[in-house]
Structure 1
Amino acid sequence: MTLITLVLGDITRQSADALVNAANSSLLGGGGVDGAIHRRGGPAILADCRRLRAGHLGRGLATGGAVATTAGELDARWVIHTVGPRWARDEDRSELLVSCYRESLRVADELGARTVAFPAVSAGIYGWPVDDAARIAVETVRAARTGVEEVRFVLFDEAAYAAFAARL
């Protein structure tokens, strides 16, 4: 069974086998967690992302998908990039958010990662209500068949931390 832990803080300051990046489909950096990971991780992450875009991900990474790159200067071996869905009041996109966690754990298993740190995917600039994002994240990780020993949710503020704590 996978141990689930919570941390209030900055995901770029975590030490883990893999850090999950809430990326945009371009994989070329952006705001929020994505921008922070690219800034702190340095140019090696962007270089790997550009290689992926020049290859099989020429059109970018699909929402719900996941792919790994080097972690550059971060205290991790890999960054697993996943593209979360934007929240929409008139359309249920929860399966895409579930896919972000499942696919990230699948990639982590392929890499042999034992510790994985996740942000609250889609709960920032993509507007997903944090209580629902927490429910989906925790339920999906609990149900996952994975070799990952610890999933750490690194939460950016006290409201997100409280939402995830309520689900544990």
Structure 2
Amino acid sequence: MIDSLQEQNEPQESAGKSARLSHCTDLNAISPPVQEIDSAQVNERMSNLRWGREAKVMARYFLNEELEVIVCLGDITKQEADALVNAANEDLKHSGGVALALSNAGGPEVHIESSALVESYGKIRTGEAVVTSGGKLKCKKLIHAVGPMSGKGDGSEKVLIQKAITSALGLCEIMEFSSIVLPCISSGMCGVPVELC
């Protein structure tokens, strides 16, 4: 979960809105903080986040004073944030794994809106992300990030996963969201080794 997407990058124009988009070229570059963070500051940030009872904090990284990455183990359908990210396929069928769980928890609206998107615009390309409502989920929007399927053997999985995550984060930034819950992309039914996800 990311608490605050505020970055100090140059503004870029996108869809008529000014947005500060950040692009991470290597997601492995995220490392534990070198600076000490005041525990009162941590407690204040934590009180602003609402996780499902099942969520367990596994790791925490402070990238700067306003950007925190919290790695949790839990049920994504129970999380509350501005945006939840769905590990989707290009057809937005939500037929298994995280996608099915989010679609079921979100109710029929998620399926209806997803089908309408694909009908209107065609399949979503690998590495891209699109937005629907979250239906009954505890989020403002559900972002569907399309990751790669394993088995191509061309080594492109890592780059495509990074592209899908960057696309999802970019959408959150355009919508000025400050919290996002992001699962591993392509790790389950897609068969990409979890260490790449």
Structures share fold, TM-score greater than 0.5: yes
1:114 corresponds to which residue? 178
Q: CA deviation at 1:51?
A: 2.2
Deviation at 1:6, TM superposition (A): 1.4
Matching residue of 2:188:
124
Report the aligned-residue RMSD: 1.3
Task: Give, in whole Å, the separation in 2 of the partners of 1:47 and 1:89.
Answer: 31
Look up the match of 2:100: 35
How far, CA to CA, are the matches of 1:122 and 1:61 in structure 2?
15
- 1:9-158 equivalences under 5 Å are 9-55=74-120, 57-58=121-122, 60-88=123-151, 90-93=153-156, 94-133=158-197
Instruction: Provide the rounded CA distance (Å) in 2 between the counterparts of 1:3 and 1:10.
Output: 20
SS in 2 for 1:81: strand
What's 2:8 paired with? none
Show structure 1 runs of 5+ residues with no match: 134-168
TM-score by length of 1: 0.74
* AA partner of residue 15 (structure 1): E
Unmatched 5+ stretches in structure 2: 1-63
Q: Against the structure 1 CA distance between its residues 130 and 111, is the aligned structure 2 distance closer, same or farther, given a 3 Å change threshold? A: same
- Distance, in Å, in 2 between the alignment partners of 1:43 and 1:114 is 27
The percentage of aligned residue pairs carrying the same residue is: 34
Which of 62, 66, 70 matches 1:5?
70
Output the amino acid matched with 1:11: I
Larger Cα-atom Rg: 2
Q: TM-score, normalised by structure 2?
A: 0.63
**Structure 1 runs, 4 residues or longer, greater than 2 Å off:** 87-90
Q: Name whichever structure is richer in helix by fraction.
A: 1
